[in-house]
Amino acid sequence: MGTLYIVPTPIGNLEDITLRALRVLREVALIAAEDTRTSRVLLQHYQITTPLTSYHEHNKLAKLDSIFETLANSDVALISDAGTPGISDPGYELVREAIARGFRVEPLPGASALITALVASGLPTDEFIYLGFLPKKSKARADFLAKLAQETRTLIVYESPNRLLDTLQTIRDVLGDRAVCVARELTKFYEEFFRGLASAAMTHYEANPPRGEIVLVISGAPPEDDTPWEEGRVREALYMRLDEGDSLSSAAKAVAVLSNWNRRDVYALGANREN
C-alpha cells in the first residue's frame, strides 16, 4: 500500500518550499492538484515531471476511487493551489477516506498563509482561532461575528478584496473598533501589512482599493467590561440590524446582549424609530 503525502506549496514566492517537499513530489507516482494549471507553474520551475490529476472542490468525491487505485500500489501527493492542503482547500475528504481505508497519511510542514499573517500581525499569538471565510451576506456576517463578541483569542479569517471594506465595517459595528492587521499578497512582490484600528483600515482601503489575496487578523475581545454602551452606539447597532431585515424583537435581543442594556430599553429605541 502506498502513502498519501500532504505537501504544502508556496503561497506566493516559489522559493518557499522545502527540500523534502520537492523530493516527495519527484518520487510519488501521482500528484493530486487543486488546479493543474497553477501547479504546473511550480513543477516546471523545479523540473518535476510527475503526472498530475485534478482534485478540486467540484470533483473531490468523484476522484476518490481513481486516486485510491494509484494508492493501492504507489505513493500519491496531495497539493493545493497554495499553502497547506485542507485549510480552506480540498483535502479533508481524501485524508479522511485514506485513514478509513488503512493507508498511511504523512503530512509535511510548510507554508500557511494564516500562520504567516498571524506572526507578523503584531497581535497576540499565544491563542488564536482560524475561522476560514466569513459569510458573504452582511446580516449573516454580522450574526456570525456577534457570537464571537466576547472571544478573547485572536481571530483569523480569509477575505476577498471585494468584501474587505464591508467586513471591516461589520467588525467595527459588531465587535467595536478593534485592532486589526490586513495582510495582503503575502510573500509576493506587492506584499502589504496594514496594522491599526478597523476604522483606520477602512479609511486606508477606501482611498487604496485592495487587490489580491487577504488574510485578516482581528484582536480578541478586551477583558470583560460591564459598562453599558452609550445610546448612540446602541442605536447604530440596532438600526443596522433592522435595515438588514431583522425583526425588532430579534434585533433588540441581540443588541441587548452586546451592549449590556435591558432588552426592553433597546426595543423601545427601535419602536420609537418606527413611529
pLDDT value at position 240?
87
CATH no. for residue 160?
A: 3.30.950.10
Same domain? For 194 and 132 the reply is: yes
Same domain? For 102 and 186 the reply is: no
Can you give the pTM of this predicted structure?
0.78
Last residue of a domain, one of 111, 136, 157: 111
Same domain? For 70 and 133 the reply is: no
Last residue of a domain, one of 52, 77, 111: 111
Residue 195 in contact with residue 167, Cβ under 8 Å?
no
| pLDDT tens readout for residues 29-86 | 999 998 899 999 999 999 999 999 999 877 877 888 899 999 999 999 999 999 999 8
Residue ranges making up the domain that contains 235: 231-274
Flag whether 226 is in a domain. no
Alpha-carbon distance values, 203 to 142, 178, 197, 218 (Å) = 20, 14, 10, 17
Same domain? For 135 and 170 the reply is: yes
Last residue of a domain, one of 196, 218, 240: 218
| pLDDT tens readout for residues 98-134 | 999 999 999 999 999 999 999 999 999 999 999 999 9
Same domain? For 101 and 119 the reply is: no
Tell me the C-alpha distance between 272 and 274, whole Å. Answer: 5
CB neighbour class for 175 (10 Å; exposed up to 12, middle 13-18, buried from 19) = buried
Same domain? For 101 and 125 the reply is: no
Per-residue confidence band for 225, with pLDDT thresholds at 50, 70 and 90: low
Q: Which of 233, 273, 267 is nearest to 251 (CA)?
A: 267
Please tell me the total count of domains within the chain: 3
